[in-house]
């Protein structure tokens, strides 16, 4: 829907800004380690990337045919066989075809890929990268996005369903096992770094750490002298999976090797490239990063004149799991911030709202550092994930008032605290008062100077004897705003909403009921934004439950939800080694998600999509009939 406007902006952009746009385009296509190097001042620039076997040229020149021939000559002279030419000029298909056939000087010697204005604009109009493209052009995209009921249902399934979460965890575990299979007796840090490098996502290191712990708990991984290795049974499972794969491709391997005079290693490589493309339902002669790698292989092995024949042979490869489950697995790691937008009312304006129990450990963590408490770990995770997705955070002013009075209670206890012995101070790490608990954790970790007392910790937030509440509120609001956390006014509460909350929490003070009612009323009445409401309060969750543009849950559940999506800065086709993950992951888990995706794909009526989306959404709500959401431990640090 943004294509025409984006196309005009790119066509009219000045030279240096086009280079920024071209780099974003290359990132979106999966190219890595990009850097522009100075050119000859002839309306073009070279780009270096991790692929040393090709040349990339950016150009704004109108005489594109002359420029391409010059760059193709330079490419051959440099001993390379592939030129990628990117321009903000429109080039008609018929003109490019005539040039290739009649005027291209390096025909048969240097493979040529051209990305013109239309191709660049189309790619950058995709949901995962459109926002970044407009921002680099000096525009801001804010508001609603287009999304069909099917797309909304699929986004909800990928973000909220237990099948999607189970499969994502299994893929991460599979990559941990695969790393240890190739690198036995590895240190934890090396394992995590290897998995983070191979998989996209906003919190892969945390998830990989949990996966390693789960595998060790199941006995699949053995720890010996600080090093990790696969158990014999886990190693045998990988060997069996590889053997099955080799048997299923053995006939193709021999056939391709003999027909095209390739070594067994090269034949296997070209088959795996083709399967990687097919698993994503791509075209072998396409222009994505995997397709370009295949084109380079063909060029470097002098198969350019036989490439159509090779494409035909490769298209007939049959590995059942690839054709059956490739796209399903790809869905998991293609999920990004725009799926969050679709799930929360199709708006790009999404805000994370924090209640006081979540805001306090976040505030303390930002100022002094996070500690090893459930609340602090969850709050820190939310802050990191919101930054990754560029989701703003806010605290209602009425909850700042609660933060102040929690501090007043801690201040009254400060003198008593200083008189306690070390054993009792240790116990206070579990205090119900967030100030005392966090300070006790910091003191236990030796994060503070020995003479830094509780009263010093409290004074940092304006909590000193005799300070009026309004002055302390101003201090805390200022600190939150310094960290980019907005303070909002919730306004007047609705009487029916207040009564519902009061019925659910009969023992709560009236002023706290008023605060919660104001926030729930604000959430229900705000129509232009999507909200993620982080609270440990199950009653509050129930009040706003069912609103599609609001996801209210515990911080741990929200962290799980946000971890399911990659950031929207780029939408890379080179997301991860899909084929390798397919070989090692649990087929039952892939099949379970595939079945639910199929239900969405085969649905026709709006009510069917809505029901499927609601079903997936319901799985992410805390299953806690007693209202003990604070006991939720699913997101561990």
The CATH number given to 3-136 is 3.40.1340
How deeply is 308 buried, as exposed, middle or buried, from its count of CB atoms within 10 A (0-12, 13-18, 19+)?
A: exposed
Q: What is the mean pLDDT of residues 156-175?
A: 94
Q: What percent of the chain has pLDDT over 70?
A: 93
Question: Does an H or E element contain 574, and which?
Answer: none
In this prediction, residues 186-199 reach a mean pLDDT of 91
Other Cβ atoms within 10 Å of 246 Cβ, number: 11
Q: Is the pLDDT of residue 569 over 60?
A: no
Query: Is the model's pLDDT at 512 over the cut of 90?
Result: yes
Contact criterion met (CB below 8 Å) for 136 and 20? yes
Residue range 204-255, pLDDT digits in tens? 888 999 999 999 999 999 999 999 999 999 999 999 988 888 888 888 999 9
Query: Is pLDDT at 566 greater than 60 in this prediction?
Result: yes
Q: Which residue has the tokens 């999920």?
A: 335
Q: What is the pLDDT of residue 246?
A: 84
Burial label for 6, CB within 10 Å (0-12, 13-18, 19+), is: buried
CATH 3.40.1340 residue spans of the chain: 3-136
What pLDDT, in 10s, does the model give residues 378-423? Answer: 888 899 999 888 899 999 999 999 999 999 999 999 989 988 998 8
- In whole angstroms, what is the distance from residue 482 CA to residue 472 CA? 15
Spatial distance between the Cα atoms of 124 and 140, rounded to a whole number of angstroms: 14
pLDDT tens-digit series, residues 446-483: 999 989 999 999 999 999 988 999 999 999 999 999 99
Residue 284 pLDDT greater than 90, yes or no: no
* Residue 401 host element (H or E): helix 397-419
- Percent of the chain at pLDDT > 90 equals 56
Chain centre to alpha carbon of residue 602: 27
Q: Cβ(534)–Cβ(358) under 8 Å? A: yes
User: If DSSP codes are grouped into helix, strand and coil, which group holds residue 36?
Assistant: strand
Q: What is the length of the chain?
A: 637
Pairing of strands 82-87, 55-59: parallel
pLDDT 10s digits, 78-103: 999 899 999 999 998 888 989 999 99
DSSP letter at 336 equals B
Q: Please, what is the average pLDDT of the chain?
A: 88
Residue 353 and residue 623 in contact, taking contact as beta carbons nearer than 8 Å = no
Query: Is there a contact between 266 and 301 (Cβ–Cβ < 8 Å)?
Result: yes
């Amino acid at each position: 829907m943004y294509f025409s406007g984006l196309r005009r902006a790119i066509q009219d952009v000045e030279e240096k800004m086009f280079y920024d746009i071209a780099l974003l385009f290359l990132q979106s296509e999966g190219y890595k380690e990009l850097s522009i190097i100075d050119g000859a001042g002839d309306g073009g620039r070279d780009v270096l990337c991790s692929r040393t076997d090709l040349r990339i040229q950016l150009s704004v020149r109108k005489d594109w045919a002359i420029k391409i021939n010059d760059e193709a000559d330079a490419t051959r002279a440099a001993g390379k066989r592939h030129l990628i030419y990117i321009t903000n000029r429109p080039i008609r298909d018929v003109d490019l075809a005539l040039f290739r056939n009649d005027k291209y000087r390096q025909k048969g010697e240097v493979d040529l890929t051209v990305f013109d204005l239309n191709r660049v604009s189309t790619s950058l109009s995709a949901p995962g990268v459109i926002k970044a493209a407009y921002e680099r052009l000096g525009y801001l995209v804010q508001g609603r996005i287009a999304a069909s009921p099917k797309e909304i249902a699929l986004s909800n399934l990928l973000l909220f369903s237990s099948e999607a979460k189970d499969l994502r965890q299994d893929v991460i575990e599979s990559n941990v096992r695969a790393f240890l299979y190739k690198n036995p007796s590895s240190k934890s840090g090396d394992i995590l770094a290897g998995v983070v490098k191979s998989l996209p996502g906003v919190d892969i290191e945390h998830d990989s750490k949990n996966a390693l712990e789960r595998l060790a708990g199941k006995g699949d991984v053995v720890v010996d002298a600080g090093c990790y290795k696969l158990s014999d049974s886990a190693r045998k499972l990988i060997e069996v999976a590889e053997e099955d794969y080799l048997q299923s491709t053995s006939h193709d391997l021999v056939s391709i090797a003999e027909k095209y005079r390739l070594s067994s290693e090269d034949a296997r490589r070209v088959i795996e490239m083709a399967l990687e493309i097919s698993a994503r339902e791509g075209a072998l002669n396409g222009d994505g990063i995997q397709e370009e790698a295949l084109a380079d292989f063909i060029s470097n092995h002098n198969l350019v004149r036989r490439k159509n024949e090779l494409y035909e042979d490769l298209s007939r490869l049959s590995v059942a799991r690839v054709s059956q489950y490739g796209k399903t697995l790809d869905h998991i790691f293609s999920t990004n911030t725009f799926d969050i937008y679709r799930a929360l009312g199709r708006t790009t304006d999404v805000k994370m709202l924090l209640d006081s129990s979540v805001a306090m450990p976040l505030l303390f963590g930002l100022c002094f550092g996070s500690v090893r408490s459930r609340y602090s770990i969850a709050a820190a995770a939310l802050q990191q994930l919101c930054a990754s997705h560029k989701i703003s955070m806010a605290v209602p002013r009425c909850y700042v008032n609660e933060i102040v009075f929690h501090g007043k209670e801690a201040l009254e206890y400060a003198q008593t605290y200083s008189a306690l012995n070390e054993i009792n101070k240790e116990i206070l790490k579990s205090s119900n008062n967030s100030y005392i608990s966090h300070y006790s954790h910091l003191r236990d970790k030796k994060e503070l100077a020995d003479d830094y007392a509780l009263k010093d910790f409290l004074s940092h937030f304006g909590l000193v004897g005799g300070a009026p509440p309004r002055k302390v509120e101003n201090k805390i609001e200022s600190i939150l705003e310094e960290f980019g956390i907005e303070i909002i006014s919730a306004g007047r509460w609705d009487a029916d909403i207040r009564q519902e909350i009061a019925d659910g929490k009969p023992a709560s003070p009236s002023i706290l009921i008023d605060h919660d009612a104001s926030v729930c009323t604000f959430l229900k009445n705000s129509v232009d934004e999507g909200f993620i409401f982080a609270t440990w309060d199950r009653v509050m969750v129930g009040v706003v439950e069912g609103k599609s543009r609001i996801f209210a849950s515990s911080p741990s559940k929200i962290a799980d939800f946000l971890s399911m999506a990659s950031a929207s800065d780029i939408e890379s086709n080179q997301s991860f080694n899909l084929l390798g993950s397919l070989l090692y992951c649990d087929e039952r888990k892939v099949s379970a998600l595939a079945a639910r995706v199929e239900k969405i794909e085969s649905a026709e009526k709006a009510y069917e999509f809505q029901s499927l989306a609601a079903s997936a959404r319901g799985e992410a709500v805390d299953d806690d009939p007693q209202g003990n959401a604070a006991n939720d431990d699913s997101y561990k640090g």
